[in-house]
Amino acid sequence: MFKFLKDKLKQAVSAFTRKVEDEAEVKQEEKVIEKPAAPVVEDKPQAEAPVEEVPEEEELPEPEEVSEEKEEDISEEPAAEEQAPEPIPEKKHKSLLEEEQEAEEKRHLEEEASKRAVEKERREQEARKAEEKRKLEEEKTRKAAEEKKRLDEEAQEKAATEKAAKELEEKKRLEAEEQERKQAEEERLRQEAEEKRLAEEQERKKLEDEKKKVGLFKRLFSRKKDEPKKPEEEKPTPKEKPRLVLDQEEYDKREEDYAVEEEDLAAREEPEKEEREEEVAKPTVEEPVEQASIEEEEAETKTVTTEVTEKETPKKGFFEKIKETFTTVKLSSEKFDEVFWDLEVTMLENNVAVEVIERIKEYLKEELTTGKVKRGTIETIIQESLRDAILSLFAEAEQFDLVKTVKNSGQRPFKIAFIGVNGSGKTTTMAKVAHLLMKNGLSVVFAASDTFRAAAIQQLQEHADKLGVKMIKHDYESDPAAVAFDAVKHAEAKKIDVVLIDTAGRLHTNDNLMNELKKLIRVNKPDLKIFIGEAITGNDCVEQAKLFNEAVGIDAIILAKADVDDKGGAAISASFVTKKPIIYLGTGQTYDDLKRFDAEELVRSIGL
């Protein structure tokens, strides 16, 4: 303690002592110069005392006194010589003190130097350690960077290899598909050319048969050249030929239209080819029958009019069959599964549940594979079938009007619990429902049973203040079932029509919160349990509704944020999966933005 002050004080005293001694020695030397006969005067203590007490300025102006002092000094020399040994111990004492002080100072300086050396060594050691640590960190960082770079390069190389392999595989697949398409196209063109050749051959044979018949009739019923009716007898051949040529042109036109349509309906090519081959083969079978009929008619010598009439009937049936081949479609089950794939992918991308897609697929498959469909009506039939399939999804859930249900119920108060996951919009939707009920003349009270989420009670209080609704609340972390129970008792006492119960958002995997919800429902027995889901979450919303329905049982669904849902899959799927009706859609931020759900309007909104 106070070591620093002690050291400084020692140094000051030593310095002051040295200065005093130096000053005394200077003055003694001046006296020795005036009295050369007294060499030991400087050792006398009596000479030192007056030098310290009498200033130098007082001695100089009195030369006479100085001479007297000289005489006194000379006279006292023997006495001084006798007393000379006495100051020696004092001087030695001073020397010892100075040596001790110097030794102390030296020791102190050595200690300071030692401390500084130790401190310097410590700092150097710390600096070395810090430098080594820094170097280790740099080395570690460098190695990590090199390792990361190596891994990145390997990943890039692997990705490039995989990409190249995929591109090669895709290229091969495209080449194979292109080759198959070319082969199919060549086969189609070959079959069409063969069909056309067969049709032309059949028409040529029929034309030749007609000519032969006309020649036969001319031989049987010939008249003289000068008779005016002869041109009329030759008339059937030119009349018949233009009609046949006209039918051939119609056939060619139909064939060209069909070829264009075939490029868009490549997937349906095989069944149509089989049907066309069957239809084309029929006239070939009928040809011998027609020839036999001609021979019988020749034998029986029927009239030209009767013969032409009988031949027109099979000719008309042939062209009708060709026309039907080019204008109707019948899909096999395998082909339907193939062409339905793109539609299935589209529905999956728009958040339609798999169960719903399978239901729609079965419905369309039954419509398109059980009979022939006219080519020009395929799109219309598919749209109508798809529309009917979607509407049938909502038919399984019984729709109801919430306001009418509350008014017609004899239960007072009528209790409605709003359940769902976090952030789905339960509190805001409950406020919208309260506004709707109040507009229809029903009184409402809120139960703030969401005692889990921070600020949930304050949020519901703001809605209650804006709507002018009484709210029953407890502290946070209170029992939600108790809050709802108190709200029901308050409604009974005040004759309030409806109790709206706000619950905490929860996931089905949170056992504690699910047990808490089950207790609330078990204690208060709400008349309606409405699931609130976000339309924009798509299949997640459907899965959540399904799990909540399995856990506590829901009675209806309200889809919030439907105004920002551009896919619509949740609206189509949620009702079918849970077999519960969607009663309202949230379409905005105001209390009036609660729209009654209409399946017909939904179907129209998606273009069906």
At residue 595, the 3 state secondary structure works out as strand
Residues 6+ apart with CB under 8 A from 192: 255, 259
pLDDT of residue 293: 47
Same-domain status, 23 and 40: yes
Helices H / strands E in the chain, number of each = 21, 10
More confident residue, 123 or 397: 123
Question: Whole-angstrom Cα distance, residue 56 to residue 27?
Answer: 8
Domain stops at, among 329, 357, 380: 329
* Beta pairing partners, 415: 499
Identify the DSSP state of 147.
H
pLDDT score of 78 more than 50: no
The mean per-residue pLDDT over the stretch 193-204 comes to: 84
More confident residue, 211 or 18: 18
Same-domain status, 323 and 337: no
pLDDT of residue 87: 52
Split into its structural domains, the chain has a count of 4
- Percent with pLDDT over 70 in the chain: 63
Same-domain status, 25 and 46: yes
Domain stops at, among 367, 395, 423: 395
CA angle, 426 as apex, 605 and 586 as ends, to 5°? 20
- Cα dihedral value 422, 423, 425, 427, nearest 10: 70
Categorize the per-residue pLDDT at 117 as very low, low, confident or very high, splitting at 50, 70 and 90.
confident
Question: Whole-angstrom Cα distance, residue 562 to residue 233?
Answer: 79
**361 touches 338 (CB < 8 A):** no
Question: Whole-angstrom Cα distance, residue 318 to residue 312?
Answer: 10
Token reading at 287: 């040809």
Radius of gyration of the chain (CA): 60
Amino acid at 10: K
Best mean pLDDT range from 196-200, 365-369, 518-522: 518-522
pLDDT of residue 317: 43
**449 touches 425 (CB < 8 A):** no
Categorize the per-residue pLDDT at 497 as very low, low, confident or very high, splitting at 50, 70 and 90.
very high
Q: Which residue has the tokens 């009184």?
A: 443
pLDDT tens for 364-391 read 777 777 766 665 566 777 778 778 888 8
The mean per-residue pLDDT over the stretch 582-599 comes to: 89
Categorize the per-residue pLDDT at 254 as very low, low, confident or very high, splitting at 50, 70 and 90.
low
The mean per-residue pLDDT over the stretch 23-41 comes to: 52
The mean per-residue pLDDT over the stretch 352-364 comes to: 81
Domain stops at, among 52, 80, 95: 52
In a domain, 145, yes or no: no
- Percent with pLDDT over 90 in the chain: 15
**571 touches 463 (CB < 8 A):** no
Same-domain status, 442 and 557: yes
pLDDT of residue 93: 64
In a domain, 90, yes or no: no
pLDDT score of 181 more than 50: yes
Backbone φ and ψ for 446, nearest 5 degrees, come out as -95, 140
Identify the DSSP state of 449.
-
**251 touches 199 (CB < 8 A):** yes
Identify the DSSP state of 596.
E
Same-domain status, 322 and 350: no
In a domain, 120, yes or no: no
Same-domain status, 345 and 390: yes
**385 touches 363 (CB < 8 A):** yes
**Residue 449 CA to its chain's centroid (Å):** 31
In a domain, 75, yes or no: no
More confident residue, 330 or 192: 192
Residues 6+ apart with CB under 8 A from 240: 207, 210, 308
More confident residue, 370 or 398: 398
Q: Which residue has the tokens 């410590």?
A: 122
- The rounded mean pLDDT for the chain is 72
Same-domain status, 538 and 572: yes
pLDDT of residue 302: 42
Domain, as residue range, for 38? 1-52
| H-state helical runs in 265-303 | 269-300
Same-domain status, 367 and 503: no
pLDDT score of 555 more than 50: yes
Categorize the per-residue pLDDT at 235 as very low, low, confident or very high, splitting at 50, 70 and 90.
very low
Token reading at 43: 């050792």
Categorize the per-residue pLDDT at 20 as very low, low, confident or very high, splitting at 50, 70 and 90.
low
pLDDT score of 348 more than 60: yes
In a domain, 231, yes or no: yes
What does each C-alpha distance from 148 to 135, 136, 154, 204, 338 come to in angstroms? Answer: 19, 18, 10, 81, 46
Same-domain status, 580 and 561: yes
The mean per-residue pLDDT over the stretch 105-134 comes to: 87
pLDDT score of 31 more than 70: no
pLDDT of residue 377: 67
Question: Whole-angstrom Cα distance, residue 435 to residue 431?
Answer: 6
Same-domain status, 416 and 292: no
In a domain, 178, yes or no: no
More confident residue, 314 or 147: 147
Best mean pLDDT range from 317-326, 345-354, 484-493, 599-608: 484-493
**445 touches 415 (CB < 8 A):** no
In a domain, 288, yes or no: yes
Same-domain status, 406 and 391: no
Same-domain status, 579 and 431: yes
Residues 6+ apart with CB under 8 A from 415: 484, 488, 498, 499, 501, 524, 525, 526, 527, 528
In a domain, 96, yes or no: no
Window from 101-105, 108-112, 276-280, 483-487 with minimum mean pLDDT: 276-280
What does each C-alpha distance from 95 to 14, 86, 102, 305 come to in angstroms? Answer: 12, 15, 10, 171
